[in-house]
Structure 1
Amino acid sequence: MGELTHFLGVKVVQKPETGEIWMGQTTYAKNVLEKFGMENSKPVSTPVDMNSKLIKHTDDKEGVDSTQYQSAVGSLLYLSTRTRPDIAYAVNNVARFCAKPTKHHWTAVKRIMRYLNGTLNLGLLYSKDKPKECVGFSDADWAEDQDDRKSVSGYMFQISGAAVSWRSKKQTCVALSTAEAEYMALASAAQEAVWIR
């Protein structure tokens, strides 16, 4: 059957001479941008505008087509869970508003697509020269949710220089301090570390 080159929309480039394997979804990302008319958008350097906080729909906010919004978020979710951990937090953030999205939420989705437009060729690069041990990172954004003040946890684990496991999710209870939010994020990362081991 030969060397693996594509798997479920993920392109795999194997370089035996350098001991590297690259995995990415350039074609899929281009198709997503074309589907939502963002292929000629101006690229941005980050997937999230940190000065803009998303809140739930209120009566004075103008809604947008929820079907289109859900389709866009679903397309971005596929990218963020396969080969693009760099957009995981941003996609998690917009996915919380699929029931009643507003123009503000749609602007946040379009920003992620603008970021993708400038980073189409990014992916995961595994190298035999990088450490084989599993290295993990965790972080928390204390009281990030403007509606219920819950924090957001995130973790990532690397092997051979690239991510093998990552997640961004809202915590289930309200943390009373940044330290408590960080401990909850660390506990979630420790559970994943035990599973990976």
Structure 2
Amino acid sequence: MENWEKRAVLMPATPLGLCEDKMADAMATALAAIEQREGERRGWDKPARLFTVHLADLDARSIELRIVPARLWGAQVRNPADAIGHTAQRLPAVPTAVEHRSYADAPVAGIAAMFEGWGRPADREPTEYEQRSNAQGRRVNHLAPDRIESRLVYAVDINQVEFYVRRCRGQQPHVLSTAQRDQTTVGTGLVPLGLGRIAHALREGHPAF
């Protein structure tokens, strides 16, 4: 990890105020800043990226990212979700109860993946074909005539709190977290589950890649 490419991202002066927990709110704020700096400012049609997030001091104005080389998680040959799932499948499952730990007392604050994809409008139910395809694990959103292009940032911190940033092309981002009141589920599937395993392995000092 020491030799991975490092990036510094400036933290906004005002936190999002999304979560009551200050650590979780700092992470949500950081991820929104990361999507803006590393995503929106750099433009679209970029390869998927996986990176560790470092927030040792919640009052600091800088976030450190360490980019996981694509060869270490198979991003150069697999769909990002599949690559994360493949990387995580050899790691131990996350315990049912995880003791709350400060970001400053762990090797990393969390792990995040940024990638682009296609989705359907939120106000449209999936067609029968889409339902069958989803059940079979096939991706067909890119075939829909009303498809929506979006940039996604999934993250899981060392306490297994999930975060999700979604920006549809040409729009403002939407940020969610399981640390929000009445928000228990952010995402399902390979990405949040895989990131959870990776985050826990990194928290415990175990090799994840």
TM-score (norm 2): 0.24
Q: Which has the higher contact order (CA 8 A, sep 6+)?
A: 2
Whose helix proportion is higher, 1 or 2?
A: 1
From the CA coordinates, give the structure whose radius of gyration is larger.
Answer: 1
TM-score (norm 1): 0.25
